Amino acid sequence: MLGGTEFVGRAVTEEALARGWDITVFHRGRHAAPPGVTELLGDRTTQDGLAVLARGTAGQPAWDLVVDTWSGAPSAVRDAARLLAGRAARYAYVSSRSVYADPAPAGLSEDGPVVAGASPDAGGDVSYPLAKRGGELAALDAFGDRAVLARAGLILGPWENIGRLPWWLRRIARGGPVLAPGTPDVELQYIDARDLANWLLDTARYGLHGPYNLVSRTGHATMGQLLDACVRATGSGAELRWTPAETILAAGVEPWNDLPVWLPPGELYDTLHRGDVERAYASGLRCRPVEETVADTWKWLEELGGRAPQRPDRPEVGLDPEVEARLLADPA
């Protein structure tokens, strides 16, 4: 596991341990690895930072599967994949549906056009879509048909360090009227990090390769079901005040950032919440109920005292309380 201490990497590590696997976690030492793993410390962004991975006998893999969640410079994926190509049987790269050319229409499958100009040799000065597509190219270049590309969409669940579901849980836990965006029947498409982890580990068993859109089917949950689950999990008795999208947008509120997860109907909604995922389901993807994702995330948050970790390279999300109060006072 390249990483393995936060969010998706942590979910993969925990699930592999639960399966009784022997796990090696390569990380920088900034966060504690789960007990029971073999730790290798190194910084893949520095010269010779991967040296500790150069173990094993050429032609005889040291690992059955490598899982890589890297989101930075594609050259870091390139260097790791090249080093491990003769030491690992398979390489699973956690990519993103952001690799598709914009705009990505509703129902887009893995065969859709991807962003142009990506390179496995690029540094850290490229956009997120180009970084992820460059990482895909790096994995494919080193592992060929032994590489699988997990094009994840919205990821939720315990260990989240982006803050989307944690923000909703903390806000709803405070109780009182809560600004709920749009209508409760808006369909969502997302994946619990643990379901993504299960699928990634299964790739070693089934020999999957190539790209897969890794999110639930559209409508696996709705915005209403997600927020209702937050009310039940926190026990706050919060009152959800469903507010028209037009009112919210007119107030300058940004979907997705100010009101995490939510997008009004339109091009971006189609891109993020209406992708074709049948290839992933046919390969064995299973997605747990939204109530389980929400309840387990709340339990994890409570264990942390209510404050979730925050990735330093991502802005904090959530609606300004004063803006929410104004909209609640005068929703029209």
Burial bucket for residue 132 (CB in 10 Å: 0-12, 13-18, 19+): buried
Q: What is the pLDDT of residue 312?
A: 79
What's the pTM?
0.95
**For the segment 236-253, what is each residue's pLDDT rounded down to a tens digit?**
999 999 999 999 999 999
Residues of the chain with pLDDT under 50: 57
User: Which residue ranges form the domains of the chain, and what is each CATH number?
Assistant: 7-152 (3.40.50.720), 159-187+221-268+289-329 (3.90.25.10)
**For the segment 270-319, what is each residue's pLDDT rounded down to a tens digit?**
999 999 999 999 999 999 999 999 999 999 999 998 788 888 778 889 99
Q: What is the pLDDT of residue 61?
A: 66
Q: What is the pLDDT of residue 58?
A: 53
Q: What is the pLDDT of residue 124?
A: 86
Closest by CA to 264, choosing from 250, 284, 280, is 250
Report d(CA 281, CA 286) in Å as an integer.
7
Q: What is the pLDDT of residue 332?
A: 57
Report whether the peptide linkage leading into residue 113 is cis, meaning its omega lies within 30 degrees of zero.
Answer: no
Neighbours of 82 (CB within 10 A): 15
Q: What is the pLDDT of residue 307?
A: 81
Report d(CA 263, CA 269) in Å as an integer.
6
Report d(CA 285, CA 51) in Å as an integer.
35
Strands 187-188 and 221-222: antiparallel
Q: What is the pLDDT of residue 55?
A: 66
